[in-house]
């Protein structure tokens, strides 16, 4: 799978940010400090400056997969994330079935209103939700690019993205998801730390993300695209600014390609089910290493093995299936001519 044309800055607008029918402005608005204020608990936590340090300890979280003379390439699909959407969809269907089975008893009631509501409203809604729980993750995970990387090029102050463009809404499931390669001007990208609140009913959790906001031009701050770096499940309140700080120093202060002590992303994706199991959890080639590094967690896993073992087995299987159906991708020659040959992969 390849995309021969590199779309220059402003030539591509993400469908999610395109104005609705009959509108001239996108819902996303403009990327300005006035419109997108930070300091929120849920939403924009911080808008970063390229001239100010955000952390004293920059990290890359093991997401850098290749070095170039004056550029670094981040993986877009960390191995321990693949398959998780399919697993989540399966859990969603299981929960819906758990609700639907006892609800089906309403058909035995004499109350016509309850039977009509259950037969024509509630049950069809559950079926539709079940289809969405499976169809959307399957479209996201299966037959997707093997990776969707991002290159930060400080020599030319550019950012290159290779990605599959998803289409919004339920109808988007049935539309083509083309492969795109976009070139952005670094000076027209703003960076934000965002957070999303989630609750289980008894606890509240914040999920953090490092988001890059792309503006239309130097004179027009309208948002035309956005993208994230790395795996949001591994990011927290302290690691988001640390990840940004490494990118900022690399681009603005000629910082190192890799932070001291950081590791590189695996060069090769899992090829067997055993390797995929090792990529997502302790069941696999790194079983002994997990005991050394995560002793309390490993004890918990073995105590609650009836829950954790099926969980990791299913996740590993979906990870393997995602990679098994993945299509290889490569950067267009125009990008490779600009950044040069990879020094390490």
Model pTM?
A: 0.85
Residue 250 has phi, psi (to 5 degrees) of -60, -45
Most confident range, picked from 10-24, 96-110, 302-316: 302-316
pLDDT digits (tens, 9 = 90+) for 31-83: 998 889 888 888 899 999 999 999 999 999 999 999 999 999 999 878 888 88
Of all residues in the chain, the percent with pLDDT exceeding 70 is: 87
Please give the Cα distance from 255 to 217 (Å, whole number).
27
Share of the chain above pLDDT 90, in %: 47
SS3 readout for 54-98? CCCCCCCCCCEEEEECCEEEECCCCCCCCCHHHHHHHHHHHHHHH
Residues 91-120: pLDDT tens digits?
877 777 776 666 555 555 455 555 555 555
Instruction: At 292, list the tokens.
Output: 């050394």
Contacts of 153 (CB under 8 A, 6+ apart): 68, 70, 71, 159, 160, 338, 339
250 vs 205, residue with greater confidence:
250
Q: Output the pLDDT for position 343.
A: 75
- Terminal Cα distance for the chain, rounded: 20
> What does the mean pLDDT of the chain come to?
86
Is 345's pLDDT higher than 50? no
Q: How many CB atoms lie within 10 A of CB 96?
A: 16
């Amino acid at each position: 799978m390849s995309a021969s044309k590199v779309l220059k800055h402003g030539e591509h607008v993400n469908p999610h940010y395109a104005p609705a029918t009959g509108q001239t402005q996108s819902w996303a608005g403009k990327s300005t400090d006035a419109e997108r204020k930070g300091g929120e608990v849920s939403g924009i936590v911080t808008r970063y400056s390229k001239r100010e340090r955000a952390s004293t300890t920059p990290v890359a979280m093991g997401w850098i997969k290749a070095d170039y003379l004056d550029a670094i390439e981040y993986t877009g699909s960390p191995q321990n994330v693949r398959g998780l959407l399919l697993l989540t969809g399966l859990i969603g269907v299981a929960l819906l079935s758990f609700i639907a089975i006892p609800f089906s008893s309403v058909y035995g009631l004499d109350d016509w209103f309850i039977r009509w509501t259950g037969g024509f409203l509630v049950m069809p809604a559950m079926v539709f939700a079940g289809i969405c729980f499976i169809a959307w993750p399957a479209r996201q995970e299966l037959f997707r690019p093997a990776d969707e990387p991002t290159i930060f090029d400080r020599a030319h102050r550019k950012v290159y993205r290779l990605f599959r463009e998803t289409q919004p809404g339920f109808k988007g499931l049935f539309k083509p998801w083309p492969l795109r390669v976009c070139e952005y001007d670094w000076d027209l990208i703003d960076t934000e730390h965002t957070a999303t609140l989630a609750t289980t009913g008894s606890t509240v959790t914040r999920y953090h993300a490092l988001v890059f906001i792309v503006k239309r031009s130097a004179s027009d701050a309208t948002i035309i695209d956005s993208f994230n770096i790395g795996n949001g499940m591994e990011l927290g309140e302290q690691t988001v600014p640390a990840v940004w700080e490494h990118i900022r120093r690399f681009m603005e202060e000629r910082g190192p390609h890799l932070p001291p002590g950081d590791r590189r992303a695996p060069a090769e994706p899992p090829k067997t089910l055993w390797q995929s199991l090792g990529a997502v959890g302790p069941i696999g080639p790194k079983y002994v290493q997990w005991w050394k590094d995560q002793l309390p967690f490993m004890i918990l896993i073995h105590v609650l093995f009836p829950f954790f073992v099926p969980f990791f087995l299913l996740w590993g299987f979906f990870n393997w299936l995602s990679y098994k159906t993945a299509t290889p991708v490569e950067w267009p020659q125009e990008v490779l001519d600009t950044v040069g040959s990879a020094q390490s992969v």
